Amino acid sequence: MTDANSYTGKLVTIERYILEQQQSHPEATGTLTNLLYDLALAAKIIASKTTRAGLAEILGSAGEENVQGEEVQKLDAFAQRTLYRLNDHTGRLAVMASEEVEEIIPIPERFPVGPYVLVFDPLDGSSNIDVNVSIGTIFGIYRRKSTAGRGTLEDVLQPGRNLVAAGYILYGASTMMVYSTGNGVHGFTLDPAIGEFLLSHPHIRLTDKPKYYSVNQGYQPYWTPGVQAYTEWLQRDTPEKKGLSLRYIGSLVADFHRNLLAGGVFYYPADRKDPKKPGGKLRLIYEANPLAFLIEQAGGYASDGTQAILDIQPTKLHQRVPLFIGNRILVEQAEALIRTHDQTAVSL
Ligand code: AHG
Ligand code: MN
Ligand code: MN
């Protein structure tokens, strides 16, 4: 049994850590710091609802379809509302965009605007809600590009290289918030007894002995020869690594988090199973870019199979992208095998 009194080491709350990081930027106004606090608060609110998700009043779908054509679960709607309500009036944001909302989300006219742009996937892994498996929230923060007034679509359609901060919240056995402002990746674990995120994983770096590969192997019949060859390479002992074990949860945040801590690669290639989604399933703005920013900060790499995710100029709000993300040597091997085997398949 542990309680708040059983802590013996140095206790660092997320608020204190974010503030200490801000102090190394004397030019900082505190706006980004406060925006990160707002997200930590959203995380606590969504976590407390998630813990009770198995209870009857929240189980089941809301009976609507989101812009991706998928059924929206009630918890998705709750997470969407929470993130919106905590951020619409603070004067820190110019505009928001969410995986669950078709158009950009303007800041209401009655509230002031600020310098930042917030993009998010409010509830990632929604197919896992009803079966009590880990889910998450993903966010990215940009500086606005437009110079005055309400934020615009152009403020949202920025390459991931422009991110100033990104992170995720994992609602798992424990709730964790993991983020980076470009100065390493730091992880915090929520102590529900005291309602605080406490620093548990400072300066996360990828190990050079990766353990896992994560892919939906059920789609193997639809993979290109390059992705087939890549998967076989991952499974074998090679000069660079031992053969990897397969782990796949089906919640990107949870799969990413495990591989961040244990080393490995997650991929969701551009398979042909669903002709309506020829460019993969995951979204560039809400999923791939924030996680690509984090993986580079941890010493890894993310690619669409041909180029760095962070270098892609988005053209559409809900653009999908193939994603290979994890240890650099593993992701570069995916690029090499796709180059060799899929020259005709790149036009998928
Ligand atoms: P979301 O719940 O935000 O729509 O995202 C679901 C995504 C992602 O979390 C996961 O990696 C992937 O869907 C799993 O897809 P498959 O079931 O096709 O493997
Ligand atoms: Mn998602
Ligand atoms: Mn989602």
Q: What does the domain layout of the chain look like in residue ranges?
A: 4-204, 212-341
Phi, psi of 102 (to 5 degrees): -65, -45
Q: How far is the CA of 250 from the centre of ligand 1 (A)?
A: 6
Compute the distance from residue 79 Cα to the ligand 1 centre, in Å. Answer: 17
Annotate 232-252 with b (16+ C-beta within 10 A) or e (fewer): ebbeeeeeebeebeebbbebb
- How far is the centre of ligand 3, averaged over its atoms, from the C-alpha of 126 (Å)? 6
Confidence label for 64 from pLDDT (cuts 50, 70 and 90): low
Q: Which tens digit of pLDDT belongs to each residue from 288-329?
A: 999 999 999 999 999 999 999 999 999 999 999 999 999 999
Atom of ligand 1 nearest to the CA of 127: 2
Q: Would the CA dihedral through 143, 304, 331, 251 be positive or negative?
A: positive
Structure confidence by residue, pLDDT tens digits, 209-246: 999 999 999 999 999 999 999 999 999 999 999 999 99
Average pLDDT over the chain, rounded to an integer: 92
Query: Ligand 1 pocket check: which of 83, 223, 252, 283 to mutate, most ligand atoms within 8 Å of Cβ?
Result: 252
Average confidence (pLDDT) over 158-174: 97
**pLDDT given for residue 67 in this prediction:** 72
CA-nearest residue, atom 14 of ligand 1: 250
CA angle 167, 172, 176 (to 5 degrees): 35
pLDDT per residue as tens digits for the range 3-62: 556 677 789 999 999 998 888 888 888 999 999 999 999 999 999 998 877 664 545 556
Question: Do residues 171 and 134 make contact, with C-beta atoms less than 8 angstroms apart?
Answer: yes
Distance from first CA to last CA of the chain, Å, rounded?
54
Q: Check if 216 has its Cβ closer than 6 Å to any atom of ligand 1.
A: yes
User: Is the CB of 121 inside a 6 Å radius of any atom of ligand 1?
Assistant: yes
* Distance (Å) from CA 11 to ligand 2 centroid: 32
Q: Which CATH class is domain 4-204?
A: alpha beta
- CA-to-CA distance for 208 and 206, rounded, in angstroms? 7
The domain made up of 212-341 has a fold known as D-Maltodextrin-Binding Protein; domain 2 (3.40.190)
Distance 339 CA to ligand 3 centre (A): 31
Q: Give the pLDDT score at 345.
A: 45
Residue 118 has pLDDT above 70, yes or no: yes
What is residue 10's predicted lDDT score, i.e. its pLDDT?
Answer: 82
